[in-house]
Structure 1
Amino acid sequence: MSQVLHTPPTSVSPTDDPAALAARYGLTVSGARPTLPEYVRQLWARRHFITAFATAKLTAQYSQAKLGQVWQVANPLLNAAVYYFIFGVLLGTKHGVRDFVPFLVTGVFIWTFTQSSIMAGTRAISGSLGLVRALHFPRAALPVSYAIQQLQQLLFSMAALVVILLCFGIPVSTSWLLVVPILTLQFVFNAGVAMIMARMGAKTPDIAQLMPFVLRTWMYVSGVMWSIASTLKHSHMPHWAMVALESNPAAVYIDLTRYALIDSFGAHQLPHHVWALAIGWALLAGVGGFIYFWKAEETYGRG
């Protein structure tokens, strides 16, 4: 004859505090937001997943096209050709700008890096709900991986840019090495803004429909197709407006890259304290965007 021993269940009153009950039975909130240092540690632990995810997305981007990965270089080059015809030939913005084709192509490539990172970040959560709801991982991995994908895309474009520079007689210079810290700062800035937009896009998916208009306006005021310094030199624009245009983060990274790569683009065409601006924008967007995204970690994929 066997005897079953059991512990009588502890009575639970309807008035018991839920937090006290959770503490009593060792329960935790599913998907609870970790502390900021722990969140950084988790994100770093998944760095291989982030880079592999970015590479896979980049490889699959043109997998259905006959020309395949050729479009990674062809797309920005075609955009540059269109802008050259409209702004350089029809509107005459090339006048007064030496080495206009290298000037324009550099601006288009650097701007496309920022534009694509922000657009991809806007849909990072809302477009990956299946992944977000199925797996537990720091959600910041998604906008960061999309920014890495666009950085990989830019590296293909930069190889084409080198060929263009050489074809137009721009000599190889040690100043080209400045591209490495410039693109690093721009990547931090892009990833930060992508995280800000990812949180906003997760709550309001309609933002993704508005962003192309915002980015197009931003492009036109960032000196992608025209020289801010040359065009505004004799204008009657208020001084504060000129400072705002020159300090615009997209213009800062574009001008710094032109300064590093093109001999005829001199230091006098750069805004004052340009490196301080580049570092400041990267820290403001990178750190601020990361914290802003982390604060809503528990809400992603719910609802």
Structure 2
Amino acid sequence: MSTQSQEPMPMTWLDRAYENYYMRSSHVVSDRQLESLDPVGLRPPLGKYIAQLWQRRHFIWADARAKALGSQRGTLLGNAWLIVKPMLDALVYFVIFGLLLQTSRGIENFVGYLIIGVTLFPPLQRSITGGAQVVRNGRNMIRGFSFPRAVLPISYTLRSAIDTLPPLASVLFLVAVLPPHALPTLHWLLIIPIFLLQFMLALGLTFFAARITTLFPDMRNIWPFLTQFWFYGSGVFFSYERFIDHPTVLAFMDVNPGYLILTMYRDCILYDAMPDTRSWALLITWTFGALVLGFVFFWEKEVAYAVER
């Protein structure tokens, strides 16, 4: 027995009105969604790029905090090495340069002078040598997700700042307990703005190093040599006025941001003195100049960081 096919029920005016409304509203939503999309592979404008970074601020902080204090995992002493290693470095430089080469002559509280130098300068070196690797180390993340690549240098610098806090605390403890005893004063509060300026400067240097190394990978092998020159030219364990009498070289070294940072730390920690206005002005200029120029320099090649090399 054959069955008769049922005729579809005719659409009422209400059905037609609902269908027309649904199609129109869907079309409007699609247009809005399309307007909010960015073309794939294009660099966003600088203002939008900064807004995207701000939207990811919680991720940046969580990523930095999760990776911080983790460089010594798997060792017997663990994070104690963050404090022990700078102290061992200070001991080596004290024996070689302080005792054997007598570079300590004329420097008040040479032990504290040395501890501050060998502990608080290396984070600036790592902003270049380690910062040069941030794009390369983030390849898997870059391939898997769409995000502003500046997240990687910012997260790395935050992690480095957190890693520096235990050594900084140990510096303050040691200069207080070791003769001639630099005891805490109100000038120690100036450590906070100096520390912040140091790591803002470090972030700017990381931006520069990350872009340059991405475009010229061989720089990974050159940065350590350049930063070693910077280390020895920043008065880390000696006062270079004793060894240099050429006024042009002295003037050049006197505006060295690494030397400025160490001198300002030493003034407020060891010598109970306010760093002079010139030092503050120079350091602030270096910091914001490096940060702004480094950020724009890094942003300009945003698309290139996804290219395999």
Fold shared, TM-score > 0.5 on shorter chain: yes
CA distance in 1, matches of 2:118, 2:58: 30
In the TM superposition, what is the alpha-carbon distance from 1:271 to its structure 2 partner?
7.9
> What one-letter code is carried by the residue in structure 1 that aligns with 2:245?
H
CA distance in 2, matches of 1:211, 1:228: 23
Cα pair distance change 1:118/1:73, threshold 3 Å: same
In the TM superposition, what is the alpha-carbon distance from 1:40 to its structure 2 partner?
1.1
For residues 85-96 of structure 1, what are the structure 2 equivalents within 5 Å? Answer: 85-96=95-106
CA distance in 2, matches of 1:273, 1:91: 32
In the TM superposition, what is the alpha-carbon distance from 1:157 to its structure 2 partner?
0.6
> What one-letter code is carried by the residue in structure 1 that aligns with 2:177?
C
In the TM superposition, what is the alpha-carbon distance from 1:219 to its structure 2 partner?
0.5
Equivalent residue number for residue 205 of structure 1: 217
In the TM superposition, what is the alpha-carbon distance from 1:110 to its structure 2 partner?
1.7
Equivalent residue number for residue 133 of structure 1: 143
Q: 2:226 aligns with which of 214, 217, 241?
A: 214
For residues 97-136 of structure 1, what are the structure 2 equivalents within 5 Å? Answer: 97-136=107-146
Equivalent residue number for residue 236 of structure 1: 245
Secondary structure of 2:217 counterpart: coil
- Establish whether residue 253 from structure 1 lines up as the match of residue 261 from structure 2: yes
In the TM superposition, what is the alpha-carbon distance from 1:222 to its structure 2 partner?
0.5
Equivalent residue number for residue 294 of structure 2: 289
Q: Give per-residue Cα distances to partners, 1:63-119, cap 9 Å, x unaligned.
A: 111211111111221111111111111111111111111111111122111112222
Cα RMSD of the aligned pairs, angstroms, is 2.1
Cα pair distance change 1:46/1:28, threshold 3 Å: closer
Equivalent residue number for residue 5 of structure 1: none
Q: Give per-residue Cα distances to partners, 1:170-229, cap 9 Å, x unaligned.
A: 111100011111111111111001011001111222211111111111110110011234
Contact 1:247-1:271 within 8 A present in 2 as well? no
CA distance in 2, matches of 1:85, 1:54: 36
The higher radius of gyration belongs to: 2
Equivalent residue number for residue 187 of structure 2: 175
Secondary structure of 1:115 counterpart: helix
Secondary structure of 1:147 counterpart: helix
CA distance in 1, matches of 2:218, 2:276: 36
Q: Give per-residue Cα distances to partners, 1:17-59, cap 9 Å, x unaligned.
A: xxxxxxxx97853142111111111112211211221222224
For residues 183-198 of structure 1, what are the structure 2 equivalents within 5 Å? Answer: 183-198=195-210
Equivalent residue number for residue 8 of structure 1: none
The runs of 5 or more residues in structure 1 that have no matched partner are 3-24
Length, aligned pairs only: 274
Contact 1:246-1:271 within 8 A present in 2 as well? no
CA distance in 1, matches of 2:42, 2:95: 53
In the TM superposition, what is the alpha-carbon distance from 1:236 to its structure 2 partner?
2.9
Secondary structure of 1:274 counterpart: helix
> What one-letter code is carried by the residue in structure 1 that aligns with 2:91?
A
In the TM superposition, what is the alpha-carbon distance from 1:290 to its structure 2 partner?
0.4
CA distance in 1, matches of 2:90, 2:49: 40
Equivalent residue number for residue 21 of structure 1: none
Contact 2:69-2:163 within 8 A present in 1 as well? no
CA distance in 2, matches of 1:246, 1:277: 10
Equivalent residue number for residue 31 of structure 2: none
Contact 1:73-1:160 within 8 A present in 2 as well? yes
CA distance in 2, matches of 1:262, 1:107: 12
For residues 6-155 of structure 1, what are the structure 2 equivalents within 5 Å? Answer: 28-155=38-165
Contact 2:131-2:210 within 8 A present in 1 as well? yes
In the TM superposition, what is the alpha-carbon distance from 1:272 to its structure 2 partner?
7.5
Secondary structure of 2:134 counterpart: coil
CA distance in 2, matches of 1:246, 1:103: 17
Cα pair distance change 1:137/1:28, threshold 3 Å: closer
CA distance in 1, matches of 2:196, 2:265: 12
